Chain A
Protein backbone atom coordinates (compact mmCIF):
# COMPACT_ATOMS: atom_id res chain seq x y z
CA UNK A 1 0.00 0.00 0.00
CA UNK A 2 2.78 2.34 0.98
CA UNK A 3 4.72 1.36 -2.07
CA UNK A 4 1.89 2.28 -4.37
CA UNK A 5 1.65 5.84 -3.31
CA UNK A 6 5.33 6.24 -3.93
CA UNK A 7 5.36 4.46 -7.22
CA UNK A 8 3.37 7.27 -8.74
CA UNK A 9 6.12 9.68 -7.81
CA UNK A 10 8.94 7.59 -9.20
CA UNK A 11 9.01 9.36 -12.53
CA UNK A 12 12.53 10.54 -12.02
CA UNK A 13 14.01 7.16 -11.19
CA UNK A 14 15.53 6.04 -14.43
CA UNK A 15 15.41 2.24 -14.43
CA UNK A 16 18.91 0.90 -14.81
CA UNK A 17 18.58 -2.62 -16.16
CA UNK A 18 22.15 -2.62 -17.43
CA UNK A 19 24.62 -0.25 -15.90
CA UNK A 20 25.71 2.22 -18.57
CA UNK A 21 29.45 2.55 -18.90
CA UNK A 22 30.74 5.85 -17.67
CA UNK A 23 32.49 7.91 -20.35
CA UNK A 24 35.71 7.95 -18.35
CA UNK A 25 35.83 4.18 -18.22
CA UNK A 26 35.54 3.98 -21.97
CA UNK A 27 38.67 6.01 -22.58
CA UNK A 28 40.84 3.24 -24.01
CA UNK A 29 44.04 5.18 -23.45
CA UNK A 30 43.66 4.63 -19.70
CA UNK A 31 45.59 1.75 -18.20
CA UNK A 32 43.47 -1.05 -16.83
CA UNK A 33 44.79 -0.34 -13.37
CA UNK A 34 43.05 3.03 -13.16
CA UNK A 35 41.10 3.05 -9.93
CA UNK A 36 37.34 3.18 -9.56
CA UNK A 37 35.62 6.28 -8.20
CA UNK A 38 32.52 5.50 -6.15
CA UNK A 39 30.27 7.92 -4.29
CA UNK A 40 28.17 6.75 -1.35
CA UNK A 41 25.00 8.83 -1.14
CA UNK A 42 21.33 8.69 -0.12
CA UNK A 43 19.51 12.02 -0.03
CA UNK A 44 18.17 11.41 3.44
CA UNK A 45 20.61 11.69 6.30
CA UNK A 46 21.28 9.12 8.97
CA UNK A 47 20.64 6.09 6.80
CA UNK A 48 24.23 4.86 7.06
CA UNK A 49 26.31 6.54 4.36
CA UNK A 50 29.36 7.11 6.55
CA UNK A 51 29.14 3.70 8.20
CA UNK A 52 28.85 2.08 4.77
CA UNK A 53 31.78 4.09 3.38
CA UNK A 54 34.00 3.19 6.33
CA UNK A 55 33.14 -0.49 6.42
CA UNK A 56 33.07 -1.17 2.70
CA UNK A 57 36.31 0.79 2.34
CA UNK A 58 38.14 -1.03 5.09
CA UNK A 59 36.82 -4.38 3.86
CA UNK A 60 38.08 -3.67 0.33
CA UNK A 61 41.44 -2.62 1.76
CA UNK A 62 41.60 -5.76 3.89
CA UNK A 63 41.30 -7.72 0.64
CA UNK A 64 44.52 -6.05 -0.48
CA UNK A 65 43.13 -3.20 -2.58
CA UNK A 66 44.55 0.30 -2.21
CA UNK A 67 41.63 2.41 -1.02
CA UNK A 68 41.25 6.14 -0.38
CA UNK A 69 38.16 7.37 1.45
CA UNK A 70 37.21 11.03 1.05
CA UNK A 71 34.90 12.75 3.54
CA UNK A 72 32.91 15.26 1.47
CA UNK A 73 30.84 16.49 4.42
CA UNK A 74 32.67 19.79 4.85
CA UNK A 75 31.62 21.38 8.15
CA UNK A 76 30.07 18.21 9.56
CA UNK A 77 32.76 15.61 9.12
CA UNK A 78 32.37 12.22 10.76
CA UNK A 79 34.17 9.63 8.67
CA UNK A 80 37.30 10.21 10.77
CA UNK A 81 35.33 9.36 13.93
CA UNK A 82 33.81 6.21 12.50
CA UNK A 83 37.28 5.04 11.45
CA UNK A 84 38.79 6.07 14.79
CA UNK A 85 41.28 8.35 13.02
CA UNK A 86 40.08 11.69 14.42
CA UNK A 87 43.19 12.33 16.49
CA UNK A 88 45.40 11.99 13.41
CA UNK A 89 43.71 14.60 11.21
CA UNK A 90 46.30 17.32 10.46
CA UNK A 91 45.23 18.51 7.03
CA UNK A 92 41.96 18.19 5.18
CA UNK A 93 40.43 18.26 1.72
CA UNK A 94 40.33 22.04 1.49
CA UNK A 95 43.97 22.33 2.60
CA UNK A 96 44.86 20.15 -0.39
CA UNK A 97 42.55 21.91 -2.85
CA UNK A 98 43.77 25.32 -1.77
CA UNK A 99 47.46 24.38 -1.84
CA UNK A 100 48.20 24.56 1.89
CA UNK A 101 49.12 20.89 2.10
CA UNK A 102 50.49 18.22 -0.18
CA UNK A 103 48.09 15.40 -0.94
CA UNK A 104 50.46 12.84 0.58
CA UNK A 105 50.64 14.78 3.82
CA UNK A 106 46.88 15.04 4.09
CA UNK A 107 46.20 11.34 3.50
CA UNK A 108 45.96 9.51 6.82
CA UNK A 109 47.08 5.91 6.59
CA UNK A 110 45.13 3.44 8.71
CA UNK A 111 47.38 1.40 10.97
CA UNK A 112 45.08 -1.62 11.17
CA UNK A 113 44.75 -1.99 7.41
CA UNK A 114 47.74 -0.23 5.83
CA UNK A 115 46.23 -0.08 2.33
CA UNK A 116 43.48 2.25 3.58
CA UNK A 117 43.83 6.03 3.54
CA UNK A 118 41.47 8.80 4.66
CA UNK A 119 41.23 12.33 3.34
CA UNK A 120 39.27 14.19 6.02
CA UNK A 121 36.86 17.08 5.48
CA UNK A 122 37.41 20.56 6.87
CA UNK A 123 35.34 21.12 9.98
CA UNK A 124 35.35 24.91 10.14
CA UNK A 125 34.56 25.69 6.53
CA UNK A 126 31.45 25.68 4.34
CA UNK A 127 30.57 23.36 1.50
CA UNK A 128 30.27 26.36 -0.81
CA UNK A 129 34.04 26.86 -0.36
CA UNK A 130 34.73 23.72 -2.35
CA UNK A 131 35.13 23.97 -6.11
CA UNK A 132 33.49 21.12 -7.96
CA UNK A 133 36.10 21.05 -10.73
CA UNK A 134 38.93 20.90 -8.20
CA UNK A 135 37.36 17.90 -6.46
CA UNK A 136 36.94 16.22 -9.80
CA UNK A 137 40.60 16.81 -10.67
CA UNK A 138 41.72 15.48 -7.28
CA UNK A 139 39.71 12.31 -7.71
CA UNK A 140 41.18 11.82 -11.18
CA UNK A 141 44.63 12.17 -9.70
CA UNK A 142 43.89 9.68 -6.91
CA UNK A 143 42.55 7.15 -9.41
CA UNK A 144 46.00 6.94 -10.96
CA UNK A 145 47.50 5.61 -7.75
CA UNK A 146 44.68 3.84 -5.90
CA UNK A 147 42.31 1.02 -6.77
CA UNK A 148 39.28 2.64 -5.16
CA UNK A 149 38.43 6.25 -4.40
CA UNK A 150 35.27 6.22 -2.28
CA UNK A 151 33.55 9.52 -1.53
CA UNK A 152 31.25 9.84 1.48
CA UNK A 153 28.56 12.31 0.45
CA UNK A 154 26.77 14.61 2.90
CA UNK A 155 23.00 14.31 3.32
CA UNK A 156 20.79 16.39 1.10
CA UNK A 157 21.12 17.46 -2.51
CA UNK A 158 22.80 20.81 -2.03
CA UNK A 159 26.33 21.92 -2.97
CA UNK A 160 28.02 19.30 -0.82
CA UNK A 161 26.17 16.55 -2.65
CA UNK A 162 27.00 18.05 -6.03
CA UNK A 163 30.69 18.18 -5.14
CA UNK A 164 30.62 14.62 -3.82
CA UNK A 165 29.15 13.10 -6.97
CA UNK A 166 31.18 15.18 -9.43
CA UNK A 167 34.13 12.86 -9.85
CA UNK A 168 32.37 9.51 -9.46
CA UNK A 169 31.18 7.19 -12.17
CA UNK A 170 29.73 4.65 -9.78
CA UNK A 171 27.36 5.24 -6.87
CA UNK A 172 26.22 3.21 -3.92
CA UNK A 173 22.90 4.55 -2.72
CA UNK A 174 22.04 3.62 0.85
CA UNK A 175 18.37 3.29 1.78
CA UNK A 176 16.54 2.20 4.91
CA UNK A 177 13.09 0.56 4.88
CA UNK A 178 11.30 3.86 5.43
CA UNK A 179 9.01 5.60 2.99
CA UNK A 180 10.87 8.88 3.50
CA UNK A 181 14.26 7.30 2.76
CA UNK A 182 12.91 5.59 -0.36
CA UNK A 183 11.47 8.85 -1.64
CA UNK A 184 14.78 10.65 -1.08
CA UNK A 185 16.81 7.90 -2.77
CA UNK A 186 14.41 8.03 -5.68
CA UNK A 187 15.11 11.73 -6.07
CA UNK A 188 18.88 11.25 -5.76
CA UNK A 189 18.93 8.51 -8.40
CA UNK A 190 17.18 10.94 -10.73
CA UNK A 191 19.84 13.57 -10.02
CA UNK A 192 22.68 11.09 -10.57
CA UNK A 193 21.41 10.53 -14.08
CA UNK A 194 22.60 7.93 -16.57
CA UNK A 195 26.25 8.91 -16.34
CA UNK A 196 26.61 7.03 -13.06
CA UNK A 197 26.33 3.28 -12.46
CA UNK A 198 24.07 3.07 -9.40
CA UNK A 199 23.75 0.14 -6.99
CA UNK A 200 21.61 -0.18 -3.88
CA UNK A 201 22.40 -1.11 -0.29
CA UNK A 202 19.36 -1.60 1.93
CA UNK A 203 20.36 -0.88 5.51
CA UNK A 204 18.79 -1.53 8.92
CA UNK A 205 16.39 -4.27 7.95
CA UNK A 206 14.70 -5.96 10.91
CA UNK A 207 13.44 -9.30 9.65
CA UNK A 208 11.13 -9.79 12.63
CA UNK A 209 9.32 -6.53 11.86
CA UNK A 210 9.20 -7.32 8.14
CA UNK A 211 7.54 -10.65 8.93
CA UNK A 212 4.97 -8.92 11.11
CA UNK A 213 4.24 -6.54 8.25
CA UNK A 214 5.53 -3.63 10.32
CA UNK A 215 8.49 -2.80 8.13
CA UNK A 216 8.98 -2.50 4.37
CA UNK A 217 10.80 -5.52 2.97
CA UNK A 218 13.79 -5.34 0.66
CA UNK A 219 11.37 -6.26 -2.13
CA UNK A 220 9.05 -3.41 -1.19
CA UNK A 221 11.93 -0.96 -1.26
CA UNK A 222 13.32 -2.20 -4.51
CA UNK A 223 9.98 -2.53 -6.26
CA UNK A 224 10.02 1.25 -6.25
CA UNK A 225 13.70 1.91 -6.80
CA UNK A 226 14.42 -0.98 -9.19
CA UNK A 227 18.16 -0.84 -8.73
CA UNK A 228 20.77 -3.60 -8.85
CA UNK A 229 21.06 -4.79 -5.25
CA UNK A 230 24.57 -4.73 -3.83
CA UNK A 231 23.75 -5.78 -0.29
CA UNK A 232 21.29 -6.00 2.57
CA UNK A 233 22.33 -5.11 6.11
CA UNK A 234 20.49 -5.88 9.30
CA UNK A 235 19.85 -3.36 12.06
CA UNK A 236 22.58 -4.26 14.52
CA UNK A 237 23.29 -2.38 17.76
CA UNK A 238 26.94 -3.52 17.32
CA UNK A 239 27.22 -0.85 14.65
CA UNK A 240 26.44 1.99 17.09
CA UNK A 241 28.97 0.61 19.55
CA UNK A 242 31.59 0.14 16.84
CA UNK A 243 30.99 3.66 15.52
CA UNK A 244 31.27 5.22 18.96
CA UNK A 245 34.57 3.38 19.43
CA UNK A 246 35.93 4.07 15.96
CA UNK A 247 36.42 0.36 15.25
CA UNK A 248 34.78 -0.54 11.95
CA UNK A 249 32.64 -3.62 12.41
CA UNK A 250 33.79 -5.00 9.04
CA UNK A 251 37.00 -6.05 10.79
CA UNK A 252 35.07 -8.02 13.42
CA UNK A 253 35.19 -11.68 12.38
CA UNK A 254 32.51 -12.60 14.91
CA UNK A 255 29.86 -10.06 13.98
CA UNK A 256 27.34 -11.14 11.32
CA UNK A 257 27.08 -7.53 10.19
CA UNK A 258 30.85 -7.52 9.63
CA UNK A 259 30.47 -10.47 7.29
CA UNK A 260 27.71 -8.63 5.45
CA UNK A 261 30.04 -5.67 4.81
CA UNK A 262 32.81 -7.99 3.65
CA UNK A 263 30.36 -9.62 1.25
CA UNK A 264 29.47 -6.22 -0.19
CA UNK A 265 33.17 -5.48 -0.67
CA UNK A 266 33.61 -8.81 -2.43
CA UNK A 267 30.68 -8.06 -4.74
CA UNK A 268 32.16 -4.65 -5.58
CA UNK A 269 35.41 -6.42 -6.41
CA UNK A 270 33.47 -8.58 -8.84
CA UNK A 271 33.00 -11.79 -6.88
CA UNK A 272 29.71 -13.61 -7.04
CA UNK A 273 28.96 -13.80 -3.33
CA UNK A 274 25.70 -15.29 -2.08
CA UNK A 275 23.59 -13.62 0.59
CA UNK A 276 25.49 -13.37 3.86
CA UNK A 277 24.63 -15.88 6.56
CA UNK A 278 22.91 -14.32 9.55
CA UNK A 279 22.70 -17.07 12.18
CA UNK A 280 19.88 -15.45 14.12
CA UNK A 281 17.57 -15.20 11.14
CA UNK A 282 15.12 -17.93 10.22
CA UNK A 283 15.60 -19.77 6.94
CA UNK A 284 12.63 -18.12 5.27
CA UNK A 285 14.26 -14.74 5.28
CA UNK A 286 17.56 -16.09 4.06
CA UNK A 287 15.89 -17.88 1.19
CA UNK A 288 14.19 -14.66 0.25
CA UNK A 289 17.49 -12.82 0.34
CA UNK A 290 19.15 -15.57 -1.67
CA UNK A 291 16.54 -15.44 -4.37
CA UNK A 292 16.87 -11.68 -4.53
CA UNK A 293 20.58 -11.86 -5.13
CA UNK A 294 20.17 -14.81 -7.45
CA UNK A 295 17.59 -12.98 -9.48
CA UNK A 296 19.43 -9.77 -9.83
CA UNK A 297 23.01 -10.71 -10.33
Chain B
Protein backbone atom coordinates (compact mmCIF):
# COMPACT_ATOMS: atom_id res chain seq x y z
CA UNK B 1 0.00 0.00 0.00
CA UNK B 2 1.52 3.27 -1.01
CA UNK B 3 -0.60 6.02 0.52
CA UNK B 4 -0.49 7.30 4.06
CA UNK B 5 -3.80 6.60 5.77
CA UNK B 6 -4.70 9.24 8.34
CA UNK B 7 -7.87 9.51 10.43
CA UNK B 8 -8.96 12.93 11.71
CA UNK B 9 -10.87 12.52 14.96
CA UNK B 10 -11.69 14.31 18.23
CA UNK B 11 -14.33 12.71 20.44
CA UNK B 12 -16.23 15.95 20.84
CA UNK B 13 -18.16 17.22 17.87
CA UNK B 14 -17.91 20.66 16.34
CA UNK B 15 -14.23 21.19 17.09
CA UNK B 16 -13.28 21.26 13.41
CA UNK B 17 -12.68 17.71 12.17
CA UNK B 18 -14.36 18.24 8.82
CA UNK B 19 -12.85 21.68 8.27
CA UNK B 20 -9.42 20.26 9.11
CA UNK B 21 -9.87 17.27 6.80
CA UNK B 22 -10.98 19.43 3.88
CA UNK B 23 -8.34 22.10 4.27
CA UNK B 24 -5.45 19.82 5.00
CA UNK B 25 -6.45 17.73 2.00
CA UNK B 26 -6.68 20.83 -0.15
CA UNK B 27 -3.29 22.07 1.04
CA UNK B 28 -1.63 18.73 0.28
CA UNK B 29 -3.33 18.61 -3.13
CA UNK B 30 -2.19 22.12 -3.92
CA UNK B 31 1.33 21.01 -3.00
CA UNK B 32 1.16 18.33 -5.70
CA UNK B 33 0.09 15.32 -3.67
CA UNK B 34 -2.74 13.09 -4.76
CA UNK B 35 -5.29 13.04 -1.95
CA UNK B 36 -8.54 11.16 -1.36
CA UNK B 37 -10.78 12.29 1.50
CA UNK B 38 -13.24 9.83 3.02
CA UNK B 39 -16.36 11.00 4.83
CA UNK B 40 -17.00 8.42 7.56
CA UNK B 41 -19.99 10.27 8.99
CA UNK B 42 -22.66 8.04 7.47
CA UNK B 43 -26.08 9.63 8.00
CA UNK B 44 -24.71 13.09 8.80
CA UNK B 45 -22.29 13.73 5.98
CA UNK B 46 -20.84 17.22 5.63
CA UNK B 47 -17.43 16.95 4.00
CA UNK B 48 -19.11 17.30 0.59
CA UNK B 49 -20.64 20.62 1.69
CA UNK B 50 -17.38 21.98 3.01
CA UNK B 51 -15.74 21.22 -0.35
CA UNK B 52 -18.78 22.45 -2.30
CA UNK B 53 -19.20 19.20 -4.26
CA UNK B 54 -22.55 18.16 -2.76
CA UNK B 55 -24.43 18.46 -6.06
CA UNK B 56 -22.05 16.16 -7.87
CA UNK B 57 -22.43 13.08 -5.68
CA UNK B 58 -23.65 10.05 -7.62
CA UNK B 59 -22.63 7.07 -5.48
CA UNK B 60 -21.50 6.83 -1.88
CA UNK B 61 -19.38 4.69 0.41
CA UNK B 62 -22.23 2.37 1.39
CA UNK B 63 -23.03 1.68 -2.27
CA UNK B 64 -19.39 0.74 -2.82
CA UNK B 65 -19.52 -1.65 0.14
CA UNK B 66 -22.74 -3.17 -1.13
CA UNK B 67 -21.18 -3.73 -4.55
CA UNK B 68 -23.53 -1.40 -6.40
CA UNK B 69 -20.67 0.55 -7.97
CA UNK B 70 -16.91 0.50 -8.34
CA UNK B 71 -14.79 2.32 -5.79
CA UNK B 72 -13.46 4.64 -8.49
CA UNK B 73 -16.98 5.52 -9.69
CA UNK B 74 -17.96 6.81 -6.27
CA UNK B 75 -15.10 9.30 -6.05
CA UNK B 76 -16.07 12.93 -6.61
CA UNK B 77 -13.16 14.94 -7.94
CA UNK B 78 -12.67 18.53 -6.78
CA UNK B 79 -11.88 20.07 -10.16
CA UNK B 80 -10.24 23.13 -8.63
CA UNK B 81 -7.31 20.85 -7.78
CA UNK B 82 -7.03 19.09 -11.11
CA UNK B 83 -6.53 15.38 -10.60
CA UNK B 84 -5.17 15.81 -7.09
CA UNK B 85 -8.18 15.93 -4.79
CA UNK B 86 -11.19 13.63 -4.59
CA UNK B 87 -13.73 12.71 -1.96
CA UNK B 88 -15.52 9.48 -1.20
CA UNK B 89 -18.84 10.70 0.19
CA UNK B 90 -20.76 9.05 3.00
CA UNK B 91 -24.34 7.87 2.53
CA UNK B 92 -26.86 10.32 3.94
CA UNK B 93 -29.90 8.13 4.36
CA UNK B 94 -28.29 5.12 6.01
CA UNK B 95 -26.78 4.59 9.42
CA UNK B 96 -23.30 3.80 10.54
CA UNK B 97 -23.97 0.12 11.16
CA UNK B 98 -24.46 -0.32 7.37
CA UNK B 99 -20.67 -0.74 7.14
CA UNK B 100 -18.46 -2.99 9.28
CA UNK B 101 -14.95 -2.15 10.46
CA UNK B 102 -13.51 -4.75 8.10
CA UNK B 103 -15.44 -3.36 5.14
CA UNK B 104 -14.34 0.15 5.96
CA UNK B 105 -10.71 -0.90 6.27
CA UNK B 106 -11.05 -2.66 2.90
CA UNK B 107 -12.26 0.53 1.24
CA UNK B 108 -9.37 2.52 2.69
CA UNK B 109 -6.88 -0.10 1.50
CA UNK B 110 -8.40 0.12 -1.97
CA UNK B 111 -8.11 3.91 -1.99
CA UNK B 112 -4.52 3.75 -0.75
CA UNK B 113 -3.54 2.13 -4.05
CA UNK B 114 -4.74 5.18 -5.96
CA UNK B 115 -3.11 8.14 -4.22
CA UNK B 116 -0.51 9.53 -1.79
CA UNK B 117 -2.82 10.35 1.12
CA UNK B 118 -6.12 8.90 2.29
CA UNK B 119 -7.58 11.20 4.96
CA UNK B 120 -10.61 9.90 6.85
CA UNK B 121 -13.02 12.34 8.46
CA UNK B 122 -14.35 10.62 11.57
CA UNK B 123 -17.78 11.34 13.03
CA UNK B 124 -18.06 12.76 16.55
CA UNK B 125 -18.24 10.33 19.44
CA UNK B 126 -16.63 6.97 20.06
CA UNK B 127 -19.34 4.68 18.75
CA UNK B 128 -19.51 2.47 15.67
CA UNK B 129 -18.80 5.35 13.28
CA UNK B 130 -15.57 6.19 15.11
CA UNK B 131 -14.46 2.56 15.12
CA UNK B 132 -15.06 2.38 11.37
CA UNK B 133 -13.11 5.58 10.76
CA UNK B 134 -10.04 4.39 12.63
CA UNK B 135 -10.22 0.82 11.29
CA UNK B 136 -8.35 1.52 8.08
CA UNK B 137 -6.00 4.22 9.36
CA UNK B 138 -2.30 3.90 10.12
CA UNK B 139 -1.97 7.27 11.86
CA UNK B 140 -4.25 9.81 13.49
CA UNK B 141 -4.71 13.53 13.83
CA UNK B 142 -6.65 14.53 16.93
CA UNK B 143 -8.35 17.92 16.70
CA UNK B 144 -9.25 19.73 19.90
CA UNK B 145 -10.17 23.22 21.05
CA UNK B 146 -8.84 24.85 24.22
CA UNK B 147 -11.96 23.99 26.22
CA UNK B 148 -12.11 21.59 29.13
CA UNK B 149 -14.89 19.50 27.59
CA UNK B 150 -13.08 19.12 24.24
CA UNK B 151 -9.85 18.20 26.03
CA UNK B 152 -11.54 15.66 28.24
CA UNK B 153 -13.04 14.01 25.14
CA UNK B 154 -9.72 14.17 23.28
CA UNK B 155 -8.09 12.45 26.25
CA UNK B 156 -10.59 9.56 25.94
CA UNK B 157 -10.03 9.30 22.20
CA UNK B 158 -6.24 9.36 22.52
CA UNK B 159 -6.49 6.43 24.94
CA UNK B 160 -8.54 4.53 22.35
CA UNK B 161 -5.99 5.33 19.63
CA UNK B 162 -3.17 4.13 21.88
CA UNK B 163 -5.04 0.85 22.44
CA UNK B 164 -4.89 0.44 18.68
CA UNK B 165 -1.23 1.50 18.56
CA UNK B 166 -2.03 4.34 16.16
CA UNK B 167 0.56 7.12 16.25
CA UNK B 168 -1.15 10.49 16.68
CA UNK B 169 -0.48 14.20 16.56
CA UNK B 170 -2.56 17.09 17.78
CA UNK B 171 -4.11 20.14 16.13
CA UNK B 172 -5.32 22.78 18.57
CA UNK B 173 -8.10 24.65 16.83
CA UNK B 174 -9.92 27.92 17.52
CA UNK B 175 -7.31 29.46 19.78
CA UNK B 176 -8.14 33.05 20.78
CA UNK B 177 -4.82 34.66 21.72
CA UNK B 178 -6.43 37.60 23.50
CA UNK B 179 -8.39 35.21 25.73
CA UNK B 180 -5.27 33.15 26.40
CA UNK B 181 -3.39 36.30 27.44
CA UNK B 182 -6.28 37.33 29.68
CA UNK B 183 -6.09 33.94 31.41
CA UNK B 184 -9.56 33.07 30.13
CA UNK B 185 -8.49 30.32 27.76
CA UNK B 186 -5.97 27.53 27.97
CA UNK B 187 -2.77 28.01 26.03
CA UNK B 188 -1.59 25.51 23.44
CA UNK B 189 1.20 24.51 25.85
CA UNK B 190 -1.38 23.73 28.50
CA UNK B 191 -3.38 21.61 26.08
CA UNK B 192 -0.33 19.65 24.91
CA UNK B 193 0.82 19.13 28.51
CA UNK B 194 -2.55 17.80 29.58
CA UNK B 195 -2.84 15.44 26.64
CA UNK B 196 0.90 14.58 26.47
CA UNK B 197 0.59 14.82 22.72
CA UNK B 198 2.90 15.93 19.96
CA UNK B 199 1.74 19.11 18.26
CA UNK B 200 1.02 19.22 14.53
CA UNK B 201 -0.68 22.58 14.24
CA UNK B 202 -2.19 25.60 15.94
CA UNK B 203 -5.16 27.26 14.25
CA UNK B 204 -6.52 30.56 15.56
CA UNK B 205 -10.25 31.18 15.87
CA UNK B 206 -11.56 33.07 12.88
CA UNK B 207 -15.30 33.69 12.61
CA UNK B 208 -15.02 34.18 8.85
CA UNK B 209 -14.11 30.52 8.43
CA UNK B 210 -17.80 29.73 8.84
CA UNK B 211 -18.63 31.81 5.77
CA UNK B 212 -15.91 30.25 3.62
CA UNK B 213 -17.02 26.82 4.79
CA UNK B 214 -20.68 27.60 4.10
CA UNK B 215 -19.69 28.52 0.56
CA UNK B 216 -17.76 25.33 0.01
CA UNK B 217 -14.44 27.08 -0.62
CA UNK B 218 -11.27 25.53 0.85
CA UNK B 219 -9.32 28.18 2.76
CA UNK B 220 -6.16 27.65 0.69
CA UNK B 221 -8.11 28.92 -2.34
CA UNK B 222 -9.39 32.07 -0.64
CA UNK B 223 -6.69 34.74 -0.80
CA UNK B 224 -8.48 36.81 1.87
CA UNK B 225 -8.10 33.98 4.37
CA UNK B 226 -5.02 34.08 6.57
CA UNK B 227 -5.84 30.57 7.75
CA UNK B 228 -4.97 29.14 4.34
CA UNK B 229 -1.28 29.66 5.06
CA UNK B 230 -1.64 27.85 8.37
CA UNK B 231 -3.08 24.74 6.72
CA UNK B 232 -0.26 24.81 4.18
CA UNK B 233 2.22 24.79 7.08
CA UNK B 234 0.41 21.87 8.70
CA UNK B 235 0.53 20.00 5.37
CA UNK B 236 4.28 20.61 5.14
CA UNK B 237 4.77 19.33 8.69
CA UNK B 238 2.88 16.19 7.70
CA UNK B 239 5.32 15.88 4.82
CA UNK B 240 8.14 15.86 7.33
CA UNK B 241 9.35 19.45 7.20
CA UNK B 242 10.32 21.09 10.46
CA UNK B 243 8.44 24.36 10.72
CA UNK B 244 8.44 26.25 14.01
CA UNK B 245 5.11 27.04 15.67
CA UNK B 246 3.86 30.53 16.24
CA UNK B 247 2.89 30.54 19.88
CA UNK B 248 -0.38 32.25 20.61
CA UNK B 249 -0.06 33.37 24.22
CA UNK B 250 1.17 31.43 27.23
CA UNK B 251 0.00 30.27 30.60
CA UNK B 252 0.00 27.47 33.08
CA UNK B 253 -2.99 28.19 35.24
CA UNK B 254 -5.40 26.01 33.33
CA UNK B 255 -2.98 23.14 33.21
CA UNK B 256 -2.98 23.02 36.98
CA UNK B 257 -6.74 23.43 37.07
CA UNK B 258 -7.22 20.51 34.74
CA UNK B 259 -4.90 18.28 36.74
CA UNK B 260 -7.07 19.03 39.74
CA UNK B 261 -10.18 18.19 37.74
CA UNK B 262 -8.82 14.89 36.59
CA UNK B 263 -7.75 13.97 40.10
CA UNK B 264 -11.24 14.73 41.39
Ranked nearest first, the 9 interchain pairs of A and B with the lowest CB-CB distance are A45-B13, A46-B14, A155-B13, A45-B124, A87-B264, A155-B124, A78-B149, A180-B46, A214-B211
Contact with B along A56-92 (1 / 0, CB 8 A): 0000000000000000000110100110001100000
Binds A, one of B48-56, B72-80, B236-244: B48-56
- The answer to whether A86 and B124 have CB atoms under 8 Å apart is no
Binds A, one of B109-117, B126-134, B162-170, B196-204: B126-134
- The answer to whether B210 and A178 have CB atoms under 8 Å apart is yes
**A272, CB-defined interface residue at 8 Å:** no
Q: B residues 137-155 with Cβ under 8 Å of A?
A: 147-150, 152-153
A75 to B50: give the CA distance in the assembly, Å: 28
User: Measured between C-beta atoms, what is the minimum distance from A48 to chain B in Å?
Assistant: 8
Of A82, A214, A241, which contacts B149 at CB under 8 A? A82
Of A81, A156, A179, A243, which contacts B44 at CB under 8 A? A156
Contact with A along B1-43 (1 / 0, CB 8 A): 0000000000111110010000000000000000000000101
Q: Beyond A9-B92, A78-B152, list 9 extra A-B contacts (CB 8 Å).
A: A46-B12, A75-B156, A78-B12, A78-B153, A81-B152, A155-B14, A158-B128, A206-B207, A244-B254
Total inter-chain residue pairs, C-beta < 8 Å: 139
**A271, CB-defined interface residue at 8 Å:** no
- The answer to whether B44 and A157 have CB atoms under 8 Å apart is yes
Which residues of chain B are near A178, meaning CB under 8 Å? 210, 213-214
A-B residue pairs in contact (CB < 8 Å), sample of 15:
A9-B92, A44-B14, A47-B13, A75-B126, A76-B156, A81-B149, A87-B264, A154-B125, A156-B41, A156-B125, A158-B128, A179-B214, A184-B46, A209-B211, A237-B184
Which residues of chain A are near B15, meaning CB under 8 Å? 45-46
- The answer to whether A160 and B127 have CB atoms under 8 Å apart is yes
A243 to B207: give the CA distance in the assembly, Å: 20
**B172, CB-defined interface residue at 8 Å:** no
